[in-house]
Structure formats: C-alpha cells, structure tokens
Structure 1
Amino acid sequence: MPLPAATTLPSDVTQLRVGLGDRSYDIVIGPGLLAQAGARIAALRPGARVGIVTDRNVAERHLSTVEESLRAAGLVPTPVIVEPGEKSKSFAVLEQVLDGLLAARIERRDLVLALGGGVVGDLAGFAAAALRRGVDFVQVPTSLLAQVDSSVGGKTGINSRHGKNLIGAFHQPILVLADTGVLDTLPLREFRSGYAEVAKYGLIDNAPFFTWLERKWQDVFGGGPARIEAIATSCASKAAVVSRDEKETGDRALLNLGHTFGHALEAGAGFSQRLLHGEAVAIGMAQAFRFSAAQGLCAATDAERVAAHLKAVGLPTRIADIPGELPDTDGLMDLIAQDKKVSRGALTFILARGIGQSFIARDVDPAAVRSFLEAERAGGAHP
C-alpha cells in the first residue's frame, strides 16, 4: 500500500517530515543508519559533544558502531549506560543519567542521543529536556515499538509509583534515525510487542492498513520491503497527528488506543518482564474493542477480528494471559483513575465504532468499566 507523506530516497531509505514550524524534523527509515549517524548528526550540529544514553544490552550490540560513526564525523561521544527494562524510567536513574551528561560537559549547543528502545528514548528525552533547561536530542530507536511510536512526537518521561509516564515533558527531537537492520537482532517477543503499536495505526483510522497487516504480517516479521512499509506507514500516521496536535489537546489522544486499560495492567504487573508495554497495549486494544461492543458502539465481530489478529501474531488479548497475580478490580480501577487522560476525575477512553473508526470517549461511566473488568477477570462473557 502507498506510504502517505513519505519520500523514497535512491538509497532505499524512506524519509518523512514532522511539520512543527521551526521545530520540524525528519524521520529517516531504512537499513544501515547506525553507521550513518555521525554524518547525519554532524550536518545538524557540527563539532558537538554527544551524550549517548543507552542500556547495557543495546550497548553490547550497537554502541561501538554509533561511537565510531560519530568520531569519524568530528563529534565527541560519551556513553551513559543504564540497566535495561521499564524500571530504569525512575527518579534514581534519571539522576544517574543527568549526572553522566553533566560530567560529559554536555552544554546547550551539544546534544543527547537516545540509543535504544522506548524506555531509553523516554528517559533520555526527559533528561535532555531538563538538562540546562533544555538541550537538543536525537532519537535512534532500536526496537520496533520505539521506531513506530515512542521515538516520534516528543513525549518524554519517567514512571511513578502512581502510574506510568506521569512525570515528563514534551521535548521534540531534532532527528529520528530508525535503522531497520537492527530489528533482525531483536528477540521475537520484543518484536511482537512492537507490532502491537503497528496494528494500532490501522485500528485508529486506517482500516485498509489493518487489512493489509492481516495479509502481510508474516512478511513484516520476516523483514524486507513489507517491514519498511509497515514502519513508514505507522510513522507517517503518527507524524501527521503530531503535526496537527503536538501537545495532545485534541485528536492526538487517539494514539492512546488500548493504553488506558494497558497502562493499568502494566502498572499492576509491576512494570516487569511479566508484561511488556506492547503486550499490555495488545490486551488494552482488545479490551477497548470488547468494551465498545459491550456498549453497543461496534459490532462484536469487529472485536473478535481484532483479537484474532493479535492472537495470530502471538500477542496476549486477555487479562488471563498475564502470568502471576494482579490487583483486584478495585486496584485496577484506581490505576485507571491515575491515567493521564483522566480530567477532573472523569474517565476518558479511546473507543471504537468499528475497525479504523476510533474516537475519544469522555465521561465514560466508571460503573460500566468496573462491570466490564469484573467480566474480563472472570474469563469474559463478551467477545
């Protein structure tokens, strides 16, 4: 299917533009971009010091390639390495990162480079927003989830014991380099987790894309042109929304399809390997469609179709798929009430009238949500 708002370069690299006036930036998608990072960044900030924030796992695979590329372009890299996993999105690790960047003498005309998945991108971006009251940063996402979602749009932050991503800032990158080649080394579970965010773009407002994914998902997993097409289509969708609504005062909230339920489940699982972010989003999207069907908003067959596709790729779709104990219904409702989309206590969900027909539902009845969660925990008396 065609890639909206995309430019295909002779080198088989696809480039998109996030239009935000004087803060606009490019998303570059394709293989081999880690080795080109230095030249591309030096074109924007020649001679800069670069604080590379990454995690231990990514550093072992990719840090040397990026450092060599930066040095070859006349830039001065200093790595700041954190532990992998959601628990690094914390005050303690944020302090560690800021201390490392200050020790590297990163100044206002230098920049921070986020090399890793969504955790590293959120953490490094927030550190860049806070450091010296704001320095530029570049996103180099190494997971599918980060390439199609969290690296684009400027949302940065850390978690709190009260919930996920409740502390942060909008801070746009100056460049996103999505090297599709690094996905070949990604564990299957991590790739599946990222795929949930790809499917999300079809479910929000692009039913033909969802249909294409139903036919082509195995090719996306396999790599090659289908993978690049899926990533570029996802990024183009997000870039268009961010250009219209940078700070989520309007339809950018649609990008949170599945996240209100999903974030509550993720927090309930202790932000642990029991439930990856994309797995939580997959369950949350399936729940959003089941809840919509239970409210008479969409057909039960739509909810069944969503769940069937997510199951086909190996993603969870129900609370029962999460290993270990979770909070009871009251506990999950408390976590939902901490969601960023809650306004003056009123519950806001992204619901659907069908596949590709999501909408923002404000003032959702908490009693209806509670009843739905009770049914979900009991095994589900709905699609």
Structure 2
Amino acid sequence: MTDLRAFVLGALELERTDRGLMPHRLPAWARAQTDDPQLHLVEAQPAGVRLAMRTAATRLELDVLPTKRQYAGAPARPDGSYDVVVDGELAERLTAPGGNVLLVDMMTGANTFEPGEPTTLVIALPAGEKDVEVWLPHDEQTELVDLRADAPVAPLPAAGPRWVHHGSSISHGSIATYPTETWPVVAARLAGLDLVNLGLGGSALLDPFVARTIRDTPAALISLKLGINVVNQDLLRRRALGPAVHGFLDTIRDGHPSTPIRLVSPIFCGMHESVPGPTGVDMAGMAEGRVAFVADGDPAAVARGALTLEVVREVLAEVVERRHDPLLSYVDGLALYGAADAETLPLPDNLHPDSATHRLIGERFAALGDW
C-alpha cells in the first residue's frame, strides 16, 4: 500500500482512519475546541486539497472512500469531482459512485450516516514524465485509501509562495461544480500560489482557534474574507465586530509579524445588503425541490447594532484604517462581485455564486497583483 501522506498538499492534518487517510483543514486541537457539527463537517471537506506527483506512468488507480451529503426533501446532490491536472492543464474529471452517505435534515439539523465502500478511480495519462495533480472534491469528504501506478511516482513539492486563505462557504466553494472552479483555486492557479484554503462553509465566525491555526501555519501571504457568516447567524452586533476582528488579526500577527494580509469584505448579496440576519431557508423553494435562502432579520434592528453587509464593510474598512499596518490592506468585496454583476450573474440560491461567478471573483482577486 502506498504511503499517500507525502503526496497531499493543501491539508493541515491527515487523520489515519480504518480505511485510509482523511484530510483535515483544521488540526485536531482546533477541532476539539468546538462541538459544532457544521464546522466538523466542512473542515473535513477537502477544498483546495490535492495529490501532487511527478511520474511517467500512463495509468493511475486511486482508491477513495467519499462521504456524500444529501439533504432530506431536496434533489440528490451530484457526486463530487476529482479534477486531474497534467502539467498545469485540466485533463480529466472523474467521480466516485457509492461511498458513505450523510443524510442531513436542514430543518432539525439531524444527521443519519449510512456506511459504504471505496471506489477505484482509473486515471489515464499521456506518455512521458509529467506533473500530475488530482484535486479532491471541495464539498465531499474523501478518505484516501491507496494509489497504484504502472511506473514510479514521486511527490511533487508545492510550487510558488504559500497563500493561506480563510473565509465562508463562498471561499469554500459553494456552489461551484468542480474543485478547480472555486474562486480561491482559480486565483491561486492564475497567480502561481500554493493554496491552503481555510474557507469553511457557514463557519467564518472569528473563532479564536481559527486565528491560532493561521498564526501557526507557515504562509507568505494571508487573506481573510469575513462578514457574511456573522450576518447569516446574527451572531454579533456592531459594537462587538470591530474588536473581534482586531483580536483575530492580533493573534495572526503574533505568528506572522511581516506577512502581507488582505482583509476582504463580503461580496454583494442582495438579500442581506441592508437587511440583517439570521438567514433562513426559503420554504417555498424547498416545496418546489430547490434550495434557496432568505433574510429573516428586521431592518429596524440595524439602528440597535444589528449587522448587515453594508455595516460589515464599514467596520472592516475602519479596522484596517485604525491599525496603521503597512502590510494590512482592505479589499472591498463589491470590487470582486457587485450589484451590477448580480444583474448578469445572479446568485442561484440568493447566497452562493455559481462556477461562472467563482471564476470572475478568482480572476479579479488574482488581478489585484502584489500584496
């Protein structure tokens, strides 16, 4: 059996399970500091995680055990994609039928787990020495079981400066179809960066253990895309948001005193621009078999400190201005995706961008240039 640990890039920890290796994007000590099932679910979805190797093989066999997430009452989700990139170019997309199933009741939060069996992915490659990357599904937990090849394979070191990015489900990749279509991967590939994606669906909540994780992770560049999740959960008031962001940055600076940091505010989301959270499920949409979201907050609560995306952008810009940190910059999320973009590329579920919009955001982020 091949020791796959040396081939994995983009994960902060590899857990040995009964079947293989489970990539994690948060270390065990950080996971132990919360009992939130949402965070435990999404941090083990390998967004930005890939196998990288140099080989002359023309056939690879990769055994994987995916865990498919399905929502009760909603249409079945498509299988996650394994994107094969050869010498920098997308060569093939594969899926792994079967595997485990996690059935989620969005109304109660209850989960039902049904165990399954591994699947073998057969990857055909051109002749000759080449660099091969297999990007794992960004929204589907995947245990790596074994790798076989018809020629020797060698681990491929990460190329380019390491970029550590933290954000919400949008940074995680919802609802992009393929792992190489999420905006951080688009930006990283365009800019030649070694991505560690700490985009955590529903969980960019200024948790101190996430700040300490970033503090302790080697990085040449850091970006933080904050705001939408604290609105989604109606988690904070304006009074608390600024100090919480300052504390988050203080912790990161303890480990990265001279690393450039970009603080990125939320992209345009019409339902929450001037209406606070919480975010609710569109029940009429659910009745029609589609997942969509609505803003359930009271606009009058803004005067009492409730957060909207407009308020969040003001606070984040103020934080950057007050810190007088020449290596800290502010990026207005509306420059990545604004109201005019929403006219031509609307958010399909009112909250998350599709693949075309992910590409637009990634291209614009990469075009920001040097940090």
**What TM-score do you get using the length of structure 1 for normalisation?**
0.28
TM-score, with length taken from structure 2: 0.29
Q: Which has the higher contact order (CA 8 A, sep 6+)?
A: 2
Answer 1 or 2: which has greater strand percent.
2
Question: Which one has the bigger helix percentage?
Answer: 1
